[in-house]
Structure formats: structure tokens, C-alpha cells
Amino acid sequence: MDPELAELIHSIGPRLRALRHDRGLTLDVLARDTGISVSTLSRVESGLRRPTLDLLIPLARAHRVALDQLVAAPATGDPRVHLRPRSRERGNIVVPLTRYPGRVQVFKQVLAHREPKLVTHSGYEWLYVLAGELRLILGQRDTTLRPGEVAEFDTSTPHWFGPAGAEAVEILHLFGPHGDQAVIRTDPTADS
């Protein structure tokens, strides 16, 4: 077998284990979700069993990732991510920076003026202002954030965000399903 191919196959097990740990799943839960036995999952993760498509497809579905994320195609030598901006209605632009469904999603957004409309949903969001001023309405609180400022909140609270005035605002937007929360240290001398 080609050494590069052998390394590619060998790396699948540790990648699967890391993905399972990142999602906080046990082998028992993953076995229930995929229909694959605990012993088979353990052997694939430890490299004692070669991963096959009939194993990888249910695992990709359970982890909500694309199959190529489990296999990781060989590097092409170009580490850049080729971004594809998506235009939204009324001049809004969204650039996805991550492609991991079911995990924290990161977007760069340019938001044009629009009228506030509060929404709620499950999850947790972080907003970092790159340029312009961002208006954040969170429940009864109305705040303006400037470049370099960050806000984080539980999305079960009624909220809306957009430009503070007529000019567009550019932000990094992180959205975590299931209430995932970031830990942000504001004072480098603070105790853990």
C-alpha cells in the first residue's frame, strides 16, 4: 500500500475519537445512534479495524459532518480556506468560516440597516465587532458595540442585532447549538 494512503487510513481512527470526545459522546451513545457495536467503534478508533464506507457513513451522519471531514483528503500544499460569500436580502453578506454542522459555527457578516425584530431560539451566540457599530437588543437592554467589543448571550433570551445607524456593520458571529459557551478572560491576571 502507498505510504501516503496508509497514513490517511491510519489517521481516521484518531480523528473519529477526537470528534466523539469534542461532542461529549460515549461509545455507548454513539453505538446507539449508529447501530454499530461498541467493540467495533472502539476498534476503529484505536486503529485495530480498518474503517469502511458502511461504518463511516453512519458515523458521519451521527456526528453531522461531511464524509470527507472524517477521511481528510491529503493536503494540497495550500493551507488557505477558499471562502464563498453568500449574499442575503437587502445588502447583507454572510461568509461561513467553518463547516462543522452540529458544532460551533463561525461566520463573518456584513449587516445592512434593517428594522429590529426580536427572536428566540436554542443555542448560544458570540458577536465580535470588526468595523462599524453594532446595535444589540437583548431582552429589555439596548446596547451599542464598537470595533473590538464582544457580546455573548443565551439565544433563548429575545434578541436582535444589526447596524447601530444607517451604515453597515461588519462582525464575526459564532453560534453554538445546545448552549455551548465560550470562556472569555477579560483580565489576564484573574484567577481561573
Task: Summarize pLDDT for 71-99 with one digit per residue, the tens.
Answer: 765 555 566 666 677 776 677 888 878 76
Give the pLDDT of residue 89.
67
Instruction: Decide: helix, strand or coil at residue 61.
Output: helix
Q: Which residue has the cell 470562556?
A: 183
Closest CA to 70 of 79, 59, 81, 80: 59
Task: Calculate what percentage of the chain has a pLDDT beyond 90.
Answer: 38
Average pLDDT, the chain: 82
Q: Which CATH superfamily is domain 3-71 in?
A: lambda repressor-like DNA-binding domains (1.10.260.40)
- Could you state, in order of their start, the residue ranges of all structural domains in the chain? 3-71, 86-179
Closest CA to 1 of 34, 50, 44: 50
**Domain 86-179 CATH class label:** mainly beta
Instruction: Decide: helix, strand or coil at residue 55.
Output: helix
Give the pLDDT of residue 86.
73
The predicted model gives 16-29 an average pLDDT of: 88
Per-residue cell: 122 = 436554542
Cα(65)–Cα(98) distance, rounded to whole angstroms?
Answer: 11
